[in-house]
Amino acid sequence: MYKKLSRFAARHVGKRYLELGKQRGVVSFSFDDVPASACQLGVEVLDRYQAKGTFYVCGGLTNGIEQSQACHSVQDLQYLSANGHEIGCHTFSHTNCANASLAALKIDWQRNRDFFSQHQLPQTGFAFPFGAYDLPSKIAAARLFPYSRITGGGTQIGRADLHALRAQALYAQSTDADTILELMQQTATEGGWLIFYSHEVSSNPGPWGTTPEQLESALRIAKQLGCEVLPVAQAIDFFKS
């Protein structure tokens, strides 16, 4: 019961609104955990559209294996950063922020910050692992990061909570083409902000990954509808300008 109340409170308290409603909609593409395939095949597809993405990194996964797939290397991250992509924090240990103690969470965030500094990677915003947060972790993240991204699905119209930015899964196995098109049309028409998130980019992805075809199709539609395609931090600057 406490958790439920806390989740309810987290959604409705501690907000800092970003006004949307520009003439153009914005679409952002983000990749959580950053499998090596997102840095390679994913970036290859983004490059075809002169688009930059946002990559949420856990230093604890660097050079590791996750879901039987290779994760990014430090060199991958440095390449992304040097080529205009955004690198954000995803905790060091892929921590569930709704379950961890605040003390443990702060240590984990600091560990990831140290990892970024050690490798000269500029850190921007934060994405909650599993999209899991509660009120204390939302407030603590708001003190450390300019923005926090959750999951939740759908697009954002009118305004967005900078400390709980909503994002839509881009998963080949479960996100159908009609959903993508409808969300994109709504975003373009109403000057909203649609943030996609995925993991690996592969011709044979698991349940939490996308294919190059699905990613390319989303990019093509975004451009056809006249949307800006921007990393999350740059999208915030766009809406503030």
Min separation Cβ 57 and Zn ion, Å: 10
Q: Which amino acid is at 194?
A: L
Tokens of 233: 């931090």
For Zn ion, how many residues bind (rule: CB under 5 A)? 3
Tokens of 20: 């949307």
Told to check if 200 binds Zn ion by CB under 5 A, we report: no
Q: Which of 26, 29, 33, 160 binds Zn ion (CB under 5 A)?
A: 33
Tokens of 150: 């959750």
**Residue 235, C-beta contacts closer than 8 angstroms, at least 6 positions apart:** 26, 28, 193, 195, 228
Min separation Cβ 184 and Zn ion, Å: 24
Q: Which stretch binds Zn ion (CB under 5 A): 13-21, 65-73, 103-111, 122-130?
A: 122-130
Q: Which stretch binds Zn ion (CB under 5 A): 81-89, 101-109, 121-129, 132-140?
A: 121-129
Q: Which of 27, 32, 42, 222 binds Zn ion (CB under 5 A)?
A: 32
Closest to Zn ion by CB, 20 vs 141, is 141
Told to check if 76 binds Zn ion by CB under 5 A, we report: no
| Residue 140 CB neighbours (<10 A) | 18
CB 43 within 8 A of CB 53: yes
Residue nearest to Zn ion as judged by C-beta position: 32
**Residue 227, C-beta contacts closer than 8 angstroms, at least 6 positions apart:** 24, 25, 26, 27, 184, 187, 188, 194
Residue 130 region by backbone torsions, left for phi larger than 0, else alpha for psi between -120 and 50, else beta: left
Q: What is the DSSP string of 53-108?
A: -EEEE-GGGTT-EETTEEBP-HHHHHHHHHTT-EEEE--SS---TTTS-HHHHHHH
Min separation Cβ 19 and Zn ion, Å: 29
Q: Which stretch binds Zn ion (CB under 5 A): 43-51, 126-134, 142-150, 190-198?
A: 126-134
Closest to Zn ion by CB, 76 vs 228, is 76
Min separation Cβ 129 and Zn ion, Å: 4
Told to check if 129 binds Zn ion by CB under 5 A, we report: yes
Told to check if 25 binds Zn ion by CB under 5 A, we report: no
Closest to Zn ion by CB, 152 vs 191, is 152
Q: Which stretch binds Zn ion (CB under 5 A): 12-20, 32-40, 113-121, 159-167?
A: 32-40
The kind and range of the H/E element at 237 are helix 232-240
Task: Name the residues that contact Zn ion, by CB under 5 A.
Answer: 32-33, 129
